[in-house]
Each structure stands twice: as structure tokens, then as C-alpha cells.
Amino acid sequence: MRAMWLLLTLAGLAGCAALQPVSDKPVVATPPEFQHDSILPLKPDVCVFNDEVDISKHNCELTYWAGVWVGADNTAWPERKAAITELGTSASDKLHKVLLSLPTDTPYQDRLRAKHWLDELIPHFTPQMQQVAVTVLASPNNQMLEYESAISVLNKLNTQRAVTIRSLNAELEAQHKKLQELLQIEATMMDKNRSNQQ
């Protein structure tokens, strides 16, 4: 009797579930919208440096600075290094040095120096250019520095491990030779014992 009531209850619950409306459309999670409240819209006449800095003739020409960056990417490091040494210490010259130091073939020490130059310059940029500089210049450069540093550490570890493995292999080979000598001595002694027993 109890089994019958149990079956009836289960059938009733299943029937209630079947009566609920079912949507034919699959439920798709909508991605959250991108929040751009913190981004300042770039104006077409945006300048790089604020009024506190000695303004160069290319201060408000972003295409000039983009051209310097593209030109640096298409120039070999030795040529860029020579150009960096010829530049002065003004804010625009430092920015020029930073842009010349950003391509991927720049050595670690020079890239690190460019990071310091950029850190000195960013406070003197206009608010819009500060955001652009951090996003487009500083963040990728810092990430590249971190990767290169990690690779350097891993190379040192691998070198140390290779040295350790070589010394362990040499020690293993020496132990193997000693074992072979001992086995040879044992074989000689066993042969002598057999000959003495006969």
C-alpha cells in the first residue's frame, strides 16, 4: 500500500513539472558591458606634455611620435643606440629615447633604462597621454622586462642544474669504475678459490 502511495506521489510531482512552461530559446549568458567611465576620450588636438615642460615643436603632433615609434621598429638596434646617444636630456628627447628603446630587439639593460625615463616623463604628460603612455608604452615594456628577467633566472637555474648533472654523471662513472674493479677482484678471487679446491 505504501509503495502505491509513493508511486502516485512521484507521478503527481512529475506531472506538475511537465506543466511548467518551457522556453524554446536556449538561455545565453550575456557578457558584461565594457565599462569605459575611467577612459578619457582622446581629442584630435591632444598634446603629449603639459604646460610645465619645455614644449617641443612636435608636442601636439601624435603622428610625429607614432612615426618615430614605427621608424624605430624598422631600424636595427646599433643604429638606434647611436641615435639615443646623440639625443639630449629635454623631455621631448627623453620621449624620443624611450620610443627608440621599445622595439623587441633592444637589450634588457637599455629597455630597463627606457622604463626609468618613461617613469620620469609620465607625470609631465597631459592626463590623456598619461593613460595612453601607461597602456601602450609602459605596460607592454614592463611585461617584456618581467619575461626577460624570468628567462634570465631560468637560464641560470638550468646552467646550475647542468653543472650539477655533469658532476653527478662524473661521480656515477667513477662509482661504476670502482664497482667494475671490485667485481673483477671478486671474480679473480673466486677463480683462485675454485682452482685451490680442485
The range of the structural domain enclosing residue 145 comes to 62-191
Q: Which of 23-27, 39-43, 83-87, 92-96 has the lowest mean pLDDT?
A: 23-27
DSSP letters spanning 48-98: SB-TTS---TTTT-HHHHHHHHHHHHTS-HHHHHHHHHHS-SSHHHHHHHH
pLDDT score at 30: 54
pLDDT in tens, 37-77: 555 566 666 778 777 666 667 777 788 888 888 999 999 99
> How many Cβ atoms are within 10 Å of 146's Cβ, its own excluded?
10
If you average pLDDT over residues 6-16, what whole number do you get?
58
In this prediction, what percent of the chain has a pLDDT beyond 90?
A: 31
What pTM value is reported for the model?
0.61
Tell whether 81 is covered by a domain: yes
> How many Cβ atoms are within 10 Å of 27's Cβ, its own excluded?
5
Tell whether 33 is covered by a domain: no
pLDDT score at 178: 93
Q: What is the rounded CA–CA span in Å between residue 156 and residue 139?
A: 26
If you average pLDDT over residues 24-31, what whole number do you get?
52
- Choose between 19 and 125: higher pLDDT: 125
pLDDT score at 34: 46
Residue 19, helix vs strand vs coil: helix
In total, how many domains does the chain have?
Answer: 1
If you average pLDDT over residues 117-138, what whole number do you get?
87
| pLDDT exceeds 90 at position 167 | yes
Tell whether 151 is covered by a domain: yes
- Choose between 188 and 23: higher pLDDT: 188
Tell whether 55 is covered by a domain: no
Tell whether 9 is covered by a domain: no
Tell whether 49 is covered by a domain: no
Tell whether 2 is covered by a domain: no
Tell whether 36 is covered by a domain: no
